[in-house]
Structure 1
Amino acid sequence: MNDSTEHPQYETLLHDALHAHVQQSGGDAAGTCLAGLADGALRVARRRQRLARTGVGVAAVAVVATAWVAVADGAPFRAHTVQPAAEGGTGRAAAVSLLPVTSSKERACTPGSGGYTVHATATGPALCVRADRARGMTDVRVTSAKAEKSASDGAWQVEVTLSPADRTRFAAFTGSLAGSPAPRNEFAIVIDGKLWGRPYVASSITGGRFEIVGAYVGDLTSTTAHDLARRLDPGR
C-alpha cells in the first residue's frame, strides 16, 4: 500500500502526543488550543486519505495552513489561520466598456441620473461624466494588461492590449471621436461599472492599445495599478 492510502501515521502520533500533554498539564488554555490544532490536522489528513482512495487529485483540495506561535509560560496562546492565496488569476475578466463622453461637469452626478461620478482628489475636482453607451464599445475583450510606470512622468498606469477583432472596432471608434470639441473627443473607460479614465483622442488609434491612468493623471498607485491589471487579465 502506498503513502497516499496509508493511514495518516504522523498526524495520528502528533494528535495523541498533544492530547497526552494536555492531560499532564492539567488542561491549560495553551494545551487546549494545541489539542484543537491537532484535531484539525488529523481531520485534514483523514480527508486527504479518503480523497486519495476515490481518485481525487490532492491539488483539488483547498488546504488551510494553521500557524501558531509559542509564547512564554503564563502568556496567552495566540494562533491564526492563513488561507493560501489563489494561484493564477480569478478566472473571470472584468467587464470593460469604452464609451464616447457627451458631457463633463464639475460636480457629483445626481443619484439615478446615469452619469459616472469622479470624486474630488488632490489633483482635481469632483466631476459628473456622462457617456453614450449606444455609440460605444461594450463587452471589450482584453488580451493583456500590465501595470507600469509612465516613461514621461513616472505615474503608475495600466497598459491594455485589445483582441485582434476589437482593435478594428477601436480604430473606427477613436477615429469617430478625433477632431470633436472637448469633451466629445474623450472616451470613458468603464470597468465593472466604474469610471477608470477618460483619455482624449487626437487621431484614430490603430495599434489596439491604450493606457489607464485614472480619472486624473497620478490617481493610480502601484497597488491599484497591479490589482486592476490582474482584474483585466485574470490569466496572468
Structure 2
Amino acid sequence: MNHSTEHPLRETSLHDALHTHVLEGDIDATGPWLVGLADDALRVARRRQRLARAGAAAFVAVVAAGAVALGTPQHAHVVQPATGGTGNTGKVALLSILPVTSSTEAACTHGSGGYTVPASATHPALCVHADRARGMTDVRVASAKAGKSTITGTWQVEVTLGSTDRTRFAALTGSIAGAPAPRNGFAIVIDGKLWGNPSVASSLTGGRLEIVGAFLGDLTSATAHDLALRLDTGS
C-alpha cells in the first residue's frame, strides 16, 4: 500500500526541514509553536501508518472468515404468520393457494386440520379450513415485490405467478367466484401458516395476487420485505 509509507516519509522530511529552519534562521516567538506543530503532524502520520497496517491485517482476516462462511451450509427458517413478527430471511419453498371451505370465529381445535389466525386487539381468533385436494400446492412464484398499497397505504407483497400457475389460478378463482362467503375465498398458505384469505368476485386471469396478512394492515415494512425476499425465486 503506497499511502501507508509515503505519508510518514513526507511528514518526516517536512519535520526535519522545519526544525533546521527554526534553529538556523532568525525566527521570532512563533518558532517553538511551529516546531511543536511539526512534531504533532509527524506523530499523526506515524499513527496513521500503524492503523493502515493493522487495517490491512484485519481485512485479510475478514476475507478469510468470509471464505469459511461461504462454505457453511445455510439452513432455511420456518416462516411465521404476518401477525407474529418480522419473519425470517430463508427462502420460502412451499406456497399454497387453497379454496376456503369454512371460517369460524374461534381458534382451531387440535387435529382439525384448519389454520388458526390468532386474536388481536381488533379481531377475534379465526379458524379457516381449506381444501388442499382442489387447491394449488407447492407453487413457486415468478416474482414477489413488497410495497405500500396505493389505496389503503398498508404494506403488502405483490406476487406474480408463472405461466402454468397463472392458468391454474384463473381456473381456481373462477370456480369459487360465485360461491357464498366464505367459500368464495382462498387461503394463502406459506410453510403451513395462513398469510391471507381474500375473497373473489370473478376469475383472476392476470396471474397476480396481493398478500396483506390475515387481516388488512397486518404486514409491516420488515415482514413484507422479508416475505417478498423469500418468495421471489426469480423463476
Report the TM-score, using the length of structure 1 for normalisation: 0.62
Alignment: residue pair count: 161
Provide the secondary structure at the position in 2 that maps to 1:142.
coil
Check the 8 A contact 1:91/1:235 in 2, yes or no.
no
Post-superposition offset of 1:62:
2.6
Q: Which AA in structure 1 matches 2:163?
A: P
User: What residue number does 1:161 align with?
Assistant: 160
User: What residue number does 1:19 align with?
Assistant: none
Provide the secondary structure at the position in 2 that maps to 1:110.
coil
Give the structure with the higher percent helix: 2
Check the 8 A contact 1:100/1:188 in 2, yes or no.
yes
Q: Quote the Cα distance in structure 2 between the aligned partners of 1:60 and 1:179.
A: 56
User: What residue number does 2:125 align with?
Assistant: 126
Q: Which runs of 5+ in 2 are unaligned?
A: 1-53, 71-88
Provide the secondary structure at the position in 2 that maps to 1:134.
coil
Post-superposition offset of 1:111:
1.4
Q: Quote the Cα distance in structure 1 between the aligned partners of 2:233 and 2:122.
A: 30
Q: Which AA in structure 2 matches 1:199?
A: P
Check the 8 A contact 2:93/2:140 in 1, yes or no.
no
Post-superposition offset of 1:109:
0.3
Q: Quote the Cα distance in structure 1 between the aligned partners of 2:185 and 2:90.
A: 31
- Give RMSD over aligned pairs: 2.6
Q: Which AA in structure 2 matches 1:138?
A: T
Provide the secondary structure at the position in 1 that maps to 2:96.
strand
Q: Quote the Cα distance in structure 2 between the aligned partners of 1:178 and 1:136.
A: 14
Aligned pairs (5 A) from 1:207-218: 207-218=206-217
Check the 8 A contact 1:123/1:216 in 2, yes or no.
no
Post-superposition offset of 1:140:
1.0
Are 2:142 and 1:143 aligned?
yes
Check the 8 A contact 2:142/2:233 in 1, yes or no.
no
Computing the radius of gyration from Cα coordinates, the structure with the larger value is 2
Q: Which runs of 5+ in 1 are unaligned?
A: 1-37, 49-57, 64-89
- CA, structure 1 residues 96+117, in 2 after alignment: closer, same or farther (shift >3 Å)? same
Check the 8 A contact 1:98/1:190 in 2, yes or no.
yes
Q: Which AA in structure 1 matches 2:177?
A: A
Provide the secondary structure at the position in 2 that maps to 1:123.
coil
Are 2:174 and 1:175 aligned?
yes
